[in-house]
Structure 1
Amino acid sequence: MPNGQWKTSTRKATLPTGWDKIRRRILTRDNHTCYKCGNHATHVDHVANSAAGGDDSDANLAAICFDCHQTKSSAEGGRAAQARKPKRTRPAEAHPGIVR
Protein backbone atom coordinates (compact mmCIF):
# COMPACT_ATOMS: atom_id res chain seq x y z
CA MET A 1 0.00 0.00 0.00
CA PRO A 2 1.38 3.41 -0.86
CA ASN A 3 0.61 5.06 2.46
CA GLY A 4 2.43 4.04 5.65
CA GLN A 5 -0.68 4.82 7.72
CA TRP A 6 -2.37 1.71 6.33
CA LYS A 7 0.15 -0.49 8.16
CA THR A 8 -1.74 0.10 11.42
CA SER A 9 -5.23 0.29 9.90
CA THR A 10 -7.95 -1.95 11.30
CA ARG A 11 -10.07 -1.50 8.15
CA LYS A 12 -9.64 -5.10 6.98
CA ALA A 13 -10.82 -6.33 10.39
CA THR A 14 -14.15 -4.55 9.91
CA LEU A 15 -14.88 -6.14 6.53
CA PRO A 16 -17.26 -9.11 6.51
CA THR A 17 -15.96 -12.66 6.34
CA GLY A 18 -15.41 -13.68 2.73
CA TRP A 19 -14.98 -10.09 1.54
CA ASP A 20 -12.93 -11.07 -1.53
CA LYS A 21 -15.75 -13.33 -2.75
CA ILE A 22 -18.40 -10.68 -2.00
CA ARG A 23 -16.30 -8.04 -3.78
CA ARG A 24 -15.95 -10.17 -6.93
CA ARG A 25 -19.71 -10.92 -6.91
CA ILE A 26 -20.64 -7.21 -6.67
CA LEU A 27 -18.15 -6.18 -9.38
CA THR A 28 -19.57 -8.88 -11.67
CA ARG A 29 -23.18 -7.90 -10.85
CA ASP A 30 -22.40 -4.26 -11.70
CA ASN A 31 -20.33 -5.14 -14.82
CA HIS A 32 -17.30 -3.41 -13.26
CA THR A 33 -19.07 -0.08 -13.84
CA CYS A 34 -18.79 2.74 -11.29
CA TYR A 35 -22.20 3.70 -9.93
CA LYS A 36 -21.06 7.33 -9.58
CA CYS A 37 -19.43 8.15 -12.93
CA GLY A 38 -19.80 5.10 -15.18
CA ASN A 39 -16.04 4.47 -15.54
CA HIS A 40 -14.38 1.09 -15.01
CA ALA A 41 -14.76 0.07 -11.35
CA THR A 42 -12.17 -1.84 -9.33
CA HIS A 43 -13.51 -1.17 -5.83
CA VAL A 44 -16.73 -1.99 -3.99
CA ASP A 45 -18.34 0.70 -1.85
CA HIS A 46 -20.76 0.63 1.04
CA VAL A 47 -23.28 3.10 -0.39
CA ALA A 48 -24.44 3.99 3.14
CA ASN A 49 -21.45 3.59 5.45
CA SER A 50 -21.77 1.92 8.84
CA ALA A 51 -21.83 5.29 10.63
CA ALA A 52 -24.93 6.13 8.59
CA GLY A 53 -26.55 2.80 9.44
CA GLY A 54 -25.38 0.92 6.36
CA ASP A 55 -24.77 -2.82 6.42
CA ASP A 56 -22.88 -5.42 4.38
CA SER A 57 -25.89 -6.56 2.34
CA ASP A 58 -25.62 -6.73 -1.44
CA ALA A 59 -28.27 -4.00 -1.67
CA ASN A 60 -25.90 -1.61 0.13
CA LEU A 61 -22.81 -2.52 -1.93
CA ALA A 62 -21.95 -1.10 -5.35
CA ALA A 63 -19.03 -1.10 -7.77
CA ILE A 64 -17.06 2.15 -7.74
CA CYS A 65 -13.90 3.42 -9.46
CA PHE A 66 -10.80 4.34 -7.48
CA ASP A 67 -11.19 8.12 -7.95
CA CYS A 68 -14.85 8.22 -6.91
CA HIS A 69 -14.13 5.95 -3.93
CA GLN A 70 -11.30 8.24 -2.77
CA THR A 71 -13.48 11.33 -3.14
CA LYS A 72 -16.44 9.77 -1.32
CA SER A 73 -14.34 8.29 1.49
CA SER A 74 -12.45 11.57 2.01
CA ALA A 75 -15.70 13.51 2.23
CA GLU A 76 -17.15 11.01 4.74
CA GLY A 77 -13.96 11.18 6.81
CA GLY A 78 -14.02 14.98 6.77
CA ARG A 79 -17.63 15.07 7.94
CA ALA A 80 -16.85 12.58 10.70
CA ALA A 81 -13.86 14.65 11.85
CA GLN A 82 -15.99 17.80 11.95
CA ALA A 83 -18.66 16.01 13.97
CA ARG A 84 -16.05 14.95 16.53
CA LYS A 85 -14.67 18.47 16.97
CA PRO A 86 -15.85 20.29 20.06
CA LYS A 87 -18.27 23.06 19.20
CA ARG A 88 -17.12 26.56 20.06
CA THR A 89 -19.89 28.39 21.84
CA ARG A 90 -20.10 31.71 23.58
CA PRO A 91 -22.63 32.65 26.19
CA ALA A 92 -25.35 34.88 24.78
CA GLU A 93 -24.67 38.54 25.46
CA ALA A 94 -27.38 40.92 26.51
CA HIS A 95 -28.24 43.61 24.01
CA PRO A 96 -26.46 46.86 24.99
CA GLY A 97 -29.71 48.80 24.81
CA ILE A 98 -31.45 46.59 27.39
CA VAL A 99 -30.99 47.74 30.98
CA ARG A 100 -31.09 45.07 33.62
Structure 2
Amino acid sequence: MIKTSKDNQATFLVDSIIEFKDFLPNYNAHIESFHALLEKECIAWSEIKNFTHGYIIIDDYIKFYNKERIHGSLSYMNPNEFIRKSMLIRICQ
Protein backbone atom coordinates (compact mmCIF):
# COMPACT_ATOMS: atom_id res chain seq x y z
CA MET A 1 0.00 0.00 0.00
CA ILE A 2 1.34 3.44 -0.92
CA LYS A 3 0.47 6.28 1.40
CA THR A 4 0.36 9.79 0.04
CA SER A 5 1.55 12.87 1.85
CA LYS A 6 1.74 16.59 1.27
CA ASP A 7 5.19 16.32 -0.40
CA ASN A 8 4.24 13.69 -3.01
CA GLN A 9 6.30 10.85 -1.54
CA ALA A 10 4.08 8.31 -3.30
CA THR A 11 4.82 9.83 -6.69
CA PHE A 12 8.53 9.75 -5.92
CA LEU A 13 8.29 6.08 -4.90
CA VAL A 14 6.49 5.09 -8.10
CA ASP A 15 8.97 7.04 -10.24
CA SER A 16 11.86 5.35 -8.43
CA ILE A 17 10.38 1.89 -9.06
CA ILE A 18 9.87 2.67 -12.75
CA GLU A 19 13.46 3.95 -13.08
CA PHE A 20 14.85 0.88 -11.25
CA LYS A 21 14.07 -1.37 -14.22
CA ASP A 22 16.94 0.31 -16.11
CA PHE A 23 19.43 -1.16 -13.64
CA LEU A 24 18.53 -4.81 -14.14
CA PRO A 25 21.38 -7.01 -15.47
CA ASN A 26 19.77 -7.65 -18.86
CA TYR A 27 19.68 -3.87 -19.45
CA ASN A 28 23.41 -3.42 -18.87
CA ALA A 29 24.95 -6.51 -20.43
CA HIS A 30 27.99 -4.56 -21.66
CA ILE A 31 28.95 -3.65 -18.08
CA GLU A 32 28.37 -7.22 -16.90
CA SER A 33 30.67 -8.38 -19.70
CA PHE A 34 33.35 -5.86 -18.72
CA HIS A 35 33.18 -6.97 -15.08
CA ALA A 36 33.64 -10.60 -16.16
CA LEU A 37 36.71 -9.63 -18.23
CA LEU A 38 38.09 -7.54 -15.38
CA GLU A 39 37.79 -10.53 -13.06
CA LYS A 40 39.24 -13.02 -15.58
CA GLU A 41 42.05 -10.92 -17.07
CA CYS A 42 43.08 -8.76 -14.12
CA ILE A 43 41.88 -9.65 -10.64
CA ALA A 44 42.31 -13.42 -10.92
CA TRP A 45 45.98 -12.95 -11.93
CA SER A 46 46.83 -10.42 -9.23
CA GLU A 47 47.53 -10.75 -5.55
CA ILE A 48 45.94 -7.60 -4.20
CA LYS A 49 47.64 -6.50 -0.99
CA ASN A 50 45.37 -3.63 0.07
CA PHE A 51 42.81 -1.15 -1.26
CA THR A 52 45.39 1.22 -2.77
CA HIS A 53 47.20 -1.62 -4.52
CA GLY A 54 43.88 -2.96 -5.86
CA TYR A 55 42.91 0.50 -7.09
CA ILE A 56 46.21 0.85 -8.99
CA ILE A 57 45.91 -2.61 -10.57
CA ILE A 58 42.32 -2.00 -11.72
CA ASP A 59 43.14 1.52 -12.95
CA ASP A 60 46.05 0.13 -15.00
CA TYR A 61 43.80 -2.56 -16.47
CA ILE A 62 41.14 -0.01 -17.47
CA LYS A 63 43.81 2.06 -19.23
CA PHE A 64 45.04 -1.08 -21.02
CA TYR A 65 41.46 -2.06 -21.90
CA ASN A 66 40.74 1.33 -23.50
CA LYS A 67 44.11 2.08 -25.12
CA GLU A 68 45.70 -1.22 -26.10
CA ARG A 69 43.37 -4.24 -25.93
CA ILE A 70 41.76 -4.97 -29.28
CA HIS A 71 38.07 -5.84 -29.38
CA GLY A 72 36.53 -8.11 -31.99
CA SER A 73 33.22 -6.27 -31.75
CA LEU A 74 35.02 -2.99 -32.62
CA SER A 75 36.54 -4.26 -35.89
CA TYR A 76 39.68 -5.37 -34.03
CA MET A 77 40.51 -1.88 -32.75
CA ASN A 78 40.90 -0.64 -29.21
CA PRO A 79 38.03 1.56 -27.90
CA ASN A 80 40.00 4.81 -28.16
CA GLU A 81 40.93 4.14 -31.79
CA PHE A 82 37.36 3.10 -32.61
CA ILE A 83 35.94 6.32 -31.16
CA ARG A 84 38.46 8.48 -33.05
CA LYS A 85 37.66 6.76 -36.36
CA SER A 86 33.92 6.96 -35.69
CA MET A 87 34.18 10.69 -35.02
CA LEU A 88 36.18 11.22 -38.22
CA ILE A 89 33.54 9.39 -40.26
CA ARG A 90 30.80 11.57 -38.75
CA ILE A 91 32.74 14.75 -39.49
CA CYS A 92 33.38 13.73 -43.10
CA GLN A 93 29.73 12.92 -43.79
Give yes or no for TM over 0.5: no
**Bigger proportion of residues as strand:** 1
- Which of the two has greater helix per residue? 2
By relative contact order (CA 8 Å, sep 6+), the higher-ranking structure is 1
Q: Tell me the TM-score normalized by structure 2.
A: 0.30
- Normalised by the length of structure 1, the TM-score is 0.28
